[in-house]
Amino acid sequence: MRWSVIDSPIGDLSLAVDDVGLCRLRMGTAEVEPGIVRDKVLLLAQEELKAYFAGELTEFSIPLSVPGGSEFERAVWQQLRRIPYGEMQTYGEVAKIVGDAGAARAVGVACNRNPIAVVVPCHRVVGAGGKMVGFGGGIPRKRHLLELEARVSFETLWG
């Protein structure tokens, strides 16, 4: 894996790519060797994330390499990618969509194990009634991401 760290409005983001695509996006700084990033997928990921945080990008095109995960987790991660920008689903709704209506807590675990945060938007999953719960990066980061998407969606619709 090749790593890079970028600064963002929610703090440092550590990105990793393999020979297929982006395979990790972690909040915080990973141990990376200093130097100029020459990997084109890492460069694309950096550009797209900067555009996302600037409110200029609503859909990522970065190739992904989603490692590991159980069959259920992979189904949840696929569903996360289907949640439209600026919208949310509850843990229960995601559970129902992936075929196990009683698995809301397991959806929460799968979201927590999501290896590619932000790009695979686990921040768009909320508790029943829209309650702001559960996010590996912390509720303030989740709130920031949801507010960014709500603002951009509103400006696009009414701007």
Give the residue, 63 or 34, on which the prediction is more confident.
Answer: 63
pLDDT at 51: 98
Which residue has better confidence, 115 or 1?
Answer: 115
Confidence label for 71 from pLDDT (cuts 50, 70 and 90): very high
For residues 98-107, average pLDDT: 95
Higher pLDDT, 137 or 56: 56
Q: Which of 41, 80, 120, 122 is catalytic?
A: 122
Average pLDDT, the chain: 92
The angle formed by the CA atoms of residues 59, 63 and 66, to the nearest 5 degrees, is 105
Say what the pLDDT of residue 159 is.
Answer: 65
- Residues with Cβ within 8 Å of 31's Cβ and at least 6 positions away in sequence, in order, are 3
Q: Which two tokens stand for residue 156?
A: 């696009």
Q: Is 111 a catalytic residue?
A: no
